A and B are shown apart, each in its own frame.
Chain A
Amino acid sequence: MIVRALGLIAGAALVLLPLAGVPYTTTLLLPAFGYAVALLGLNLLFGSTGLLSFGHALFIALGGYTAAALTGRFGVRSLELVLLAAALVAALVAVPIGLLCVRYVKIYFGMLTLAFGMLFYSFLYKFYALTGGDEGMRVLRPMLLGRPLEHLDTVAYLTGPFYYYALGVLVVAALVMRRLVGSPFGLSLRSIRENAAKAESLGIGVRRCRLAAFVVAAVFGAIGGVLLVVPTGLADPLLAYWTHSGNLVFMLLLGGFDHFLGPVLGALVFILLQDSVMSLTSYWRFVFGAILAVIVIFFPRGLMGLLDARRAAAS
């Protein structure tokens, strides 16, 4: 009940924010939307399936570089096409990687995803002619729903049409994910998480389901990646770096992985927290490390766990 009411208030606040005349705060939420989409996917893998990926930034970078290649090199400026292409590319890449990774669970799965993430980082870093190396690739401002919006300056574009577009993508992503989690497929994933052997004996194709979850997570990651690089205007190799994957896991733990909206809350709070702590001290990484430790030790269900006390009591 509280969560629902707070959710409605937060939703209304997000819709009204661009009208409040606080452009910086509005632009600040753009990466949060991108991360939230990616985390919804990552949580299907972790929260639902019980597989913790330490290389999910690979797919964010894949989305980012797809956006850069399409807008910068091939002149495709339609964001819908870019999102579609990013999803396709991510799915294509995720299938072979997933086939290898889902043969393992726990730390072995984590290490393998980490390895693939770093492999992709090295590829981005080393293949100068193709990827621009450390300098990355520019992402040009995309058209939204076929409208070029060239009359708007960047701040107006980002805090107006692009803000609502990204929010819209997040809402659609959340609805799709909600449907997925509640579907028989979602139930299969949860049963695999709880007891893979038992699930298999019930006739659930464990590896197939894990692979499907991996591919869906990758697609969400790439879509999040596209939303992430448009405001920056650059796709760079650090997007694929392992610390970025670590940040994703941090956000997930912060928000709470056992609640459907935990990842969204995690992304929002992480971004707002990072913004304020970074301005206060150059030792913000230390502060973040301490926060992570406190969460893992004292609040393993994250912020959503705090909010949703009723469920905590029930579980």
Chain B
Amino acid sequence: MRLTRRRFLKLTGVGAVAAALPLDVVPVLAQSGPVRLGILAARAGVLAPVGESGLRGVQFATDRINAAGGILGRRLELIVEEESSPKDTVERFRKLALSDKVDAVSGAISTGVGLALGPAAEEMKTIWLAWDATTQKGVEESMPKPKYSFRSTDNECEAVMASILTARHWKGKFKTVAGINPDYSYGRDNWAAFLAIMKKYGIEAQVVSELWPKLGATDFTSHVATLIQAKPDLIFSCFWAGDTPIFMKQAHAAGLTKSTKVVLTTGGGVHESLKKDFTPEGAILGYNCFYFENPKASALAKEFTRWHAEKFKEWPNYESDHGYFTVVAFKAAIERAAKAAGGKWPTQDAIIQALEGVEAESLSGPRRYREDHIMEAAFFQGVTTHRNRHDFVTIDPVESMSTKQIQKPSGVGLYDWINGWKV
């Protein structure tokens, strides 16, 4: 086809109009029409399953809210964008804020993205309810007193709980430890917290190996060989992605799990892949804030687990709970603020104020935002067992700890807080 000048101008003209139109010419329906919630969910790479899980929790919450009449009569509408690199995600955040004119944004898992989004949310004056991505650096340095950012539980909660359980179950039963953790802030923060807590409990275990494979690594042959050489009594790992079952499989094949104690702080995130064939009984396994077979689960949690299993043929994990909570907390805050304003639709400032300290029923039980914008939740961990109806390990008994116990309080450094424990 020959592209004549006239035809080209026509095409580019139409293209330019079409490209310009949908971007910013969105009517502002401040207090009518649907409530717009922007979502940032990872859709590709190692974070994709976690992003999908968070999105499922958000969808479940949204469907329930809309079925019950929405938020003060307004439907809740989701606008989903992808979380990817910090640069691209900040641009998506900007799109949600400036072009889609959302009332708030929920999402983000990666710590790097979280550190970029925190300041971006403040600058764009847009409420951001994070699913995860809360590092010490984020809390202490980048955003000491945020107004618009509401962050998740601290990265180290899982390590803190697993370390307490390690001390409780195995104090005096191991002399050497090895750490194999993903090579990024989450891995490093968790390992450092574990070592600090061991020291606090008076466990003078010698560190015989510290390994830092890349996040999402798919081969651990050399790491397993190093661990066999190092002969640790206990292996500590905060793997949470597809690397967890691969490492366990290779460690099991090399006979490493037979006599060595294993602590997997976050492996519950990929619990279905931890098959009985290669995951031993008697290991400490953490599920973050949601355990799908919690015997004390609420009716809501049971309904969600059933819905999830039927719809996706999988048992749900914790990220759904983070996602779910951000939505119901947002709704609860709007209702709380509206009540204070005599039933009128609240201002953004009033919603922010109402989010501080707001409590809402989540999948894992009641959860809340602290006044310093950090989530509070219950965490679930336990000792692995093969006695269940699945082909993968579960935990029994299920131990639960509140973030009141395993998360540093507002305004205190993590290690100062740990050092101040009375054990």
Question: Which residues does A use to contact B, with CB under 8 Å?
Answer: 2, 6, 21-25, 27-28, 31, 125-126, 128, 132-136, 138, 153-155, 228-229, 231-234, 236-239, 272, 275-276, 278-279, 282, 284-285, 306-307, 309
Binds A, one of B92-100, B256-264, B333-341: B92-100
B124 at interface, CB cutoff 8 A? yes
Known A-B contacts A23-B98, A138-B119, A155-B124; A228 and B87 likewise in contact (beta carbons under 8 Å): yes
CB nearest neighbor in B for A137: B115
B135 at interface, CB cutoff 8 A? yes
Q: Which residues of A contact B12 (CB under 8 A)?
A: 6
CB nearest neighbor in B for A136: B112
Q: Which residues of A contact B208 (CB under 8 A)?
A: none
B296 at interface, CB cutoff 8 A? no
Q: Which of A21, A135, A231, A284 contacts B112 (CB 8 A)?
A: A135
B5 at interface, CB cutoff 8 A? yes
Q: Which residues of A contact B183 (CB under 8 A)?
A: 125-126
Known A-B contacts A27-B98, A232-B86; A133 and B142 likewise in contact (beta carbons under 8 Å): no
A133–B185 Cα distance when bound, in Å, is: 7
B361 at interface, CB cutoff 8 A? no
CB–CB B87/A24 < 8 A = no
CB–CB A234/B115 < 8 A = yes
CB–CB A307/B8 < 8 A = yes
Q: Which residues of B contact A21 (CB under 8 A)?
A: 24
Q: Which residues of A contact B99 (CB under 8 A)?
A: 24-25
Known A-B contacts A135-B115, A153-B123; A232 and B185 likewise in contact (beta carbons under 8 Å): no
Q: Which of A2, A23, A233 contacts B120 (CB 8 A)?
A: A233
A293–B201 Cα distance when bound, in Å, is: 60
User: What distance in Å separates the Cβ of B186 from its nearest Cβ neighbour in chain A?
Assistant: 9
Q: Which of A232, A275, A282 contacts B87 (CB 8 A)?
A: A232
Q: Which of B20, B125, B184 contacts A133 (CB 8 A)?
A: B184
A21–B20 Cα distance when bound, in Å, is: 12
Q: Which residues of B contact A306 (CB under 8 A)?
A: 3
B116 at interface, CB cutoff 8 A? yes
A218–B253 Cα distance when bound, in Å, is: 48
CB–CB B90/A279 < 8 A = no
A307–B11 Cα distance when bound, in Å, is: 12
Q: Which of A125, A135, A228 contacts B135 (CB 8 A)?
A: A135
Q: Which of B115, B120, B123 contacts A136 (CB 8 A)?
A: B115
User: What distance in Å separates the Cβ of B11 from its nearest Cβ neighbour in chain A?
Assistant: 10
CB–CB B111/A134 < 8 A = yes
A6–B81 Cα distance when bound, in Å, is: 33
CB nearest neighbor in B for A282: B43
A25–B16 Cα distance when bound, in Å, is: 12
Q: Which residues of B contact A272 (CB under 8 A)?
A: 19
Q: Which residues of B contact A275 (CB under 8 A)?
A: 23, 91, 95
Question: Which residues does B use to contact A, with CB under 8 Å?
Answer: 3, 5, 8, 12, 19-20, 22-25, 43-44, 81-82, 85-87, 90-92, 94-95, 98-99, 111-112, 115-116, 119-120, 123-125, 135, 137-138, 142, 183-185, 188
CB nearest neighbor in A for B23: A25
CB nearest neighbor in A for B48: A282
CB–CB B111/A234 < 8 A = no
| Interface-central residue, B119, B124, B183, by most chain A CB under 10 Å | B119
Q: Which of B8, B82, B86 contacts A234 (CB 8 A)?
A: B86
A235–B94 Cα distance when bound, in Å, is: 17
CB–CB A233/B119 < 8 A = yes
Known A-B contacts A24-B23, A24-B24; A2 and B8 likewise in contact (beta carbons under 8 Å): yes
CB nearest neighbor in B for A241: B85
Q: Which of B81, B116, B125, B137 contacts A236 (CB 8 A)?
A: B116
A154–B92 Cα distance when bound, in Å, is: 16
Known A-B contacts A23-B98, A232-B116; A154 and B124 likewise in contact (beta carbons under 8 Å): yes
User: What distance in Å separates the Cβ of B143 from its nearest Cβ neighbour in chain A?
Assistant: 10
Q: Which residues of A contact B94 (CB under 8 A)?
A: 24, 27-28
User: What distance in Å separates the Cβ of A91 from its nearest Cβ neighbour in chain B?
Assistant: 24
A232–B44 Cα distance when bound, in Å, is: 21
CB nearest neighbor in B for A309: B3
User: What distance in Å separates the Cβ of A54 from its nearest Cβ neighbour in chain B?
Assistant: 18
A27–B99 Cα distance when bound, in Å, is: 11
Q: Which of A31, A154, A155, A233 contacts B116 (CB 8 A)?
A: A233
A142–B45 Cα distance when bound, in Å, is: 33
Q: Which 5 A-B pairs rank lowest in CB-CB distance, beginning with the nearest? A: A154-B123, A24-B98, A24-B99, A134-B184, A22-B24
Known A-B contacts A126-B183, A309-B3; A232 and B24 likewise in contact (beta carbons under 8 Å): no
Q: Which residues of B contact A6 (CB under 8 A)?
A: 12
A125–B187 Cα distance when bound, in Å, is: 13
CB–CB B111/A135 < 8 A = yes
CB nearest neighbor in B for A285: B44
Q: Which residues of A contact B20 (CB under 8 A)?
A: 22, 25
CB–CB A155/B98 < 8 A = yes
A128–B111 Cα distance when bound, in Å, is: 14
CB–CB A234/B184 < 8 A = no
A21–B99 Cα distance when bound, in Å, is: 11
Q: Which residues of B contact A125 (CB under 8 A)?
A: 183-184
A23–B24 Cα distance when bound, in Å, is: 8
CB–CB B86/A136 < 8 A = yes
Please, could you name 15 A-B residue pairs with CB atoms under 8 Å apart, sorted by A? A22-B25, A24-B94, A25-B24, A25-B99, A28-B95, A31-B87, A135-B112, A135-B138, A136-B86, A136-B116, A233-B90, A234-B115, A238-B85, A238-B86, A276-B22
Q: Which residues of B contact A279 (CB under 8 A)?
A: 81, 95
Known A-B contacts A22-B23, A125-B183, A278-B81; A236 and B91 likewise in contact (beta carbons under 8 Å): no
Q: Which residues of A contact B25 (CB under 8 A)?
A: 22
Q: Which residues of A contact B85 (CB under 8 A)?
A: 236, 238-239
Given contacts A24-B24, A238-B112, 11 further A-B contacts (CB under 8 A): A2-B5, A21-B24, A25-B20, A28-B94, A134-B112, A135-B111, A135-B137, A138-B119, A138-B142, A232-B120, A238-B87
A112–B8 Cα distance when bound, in Å, is: 41
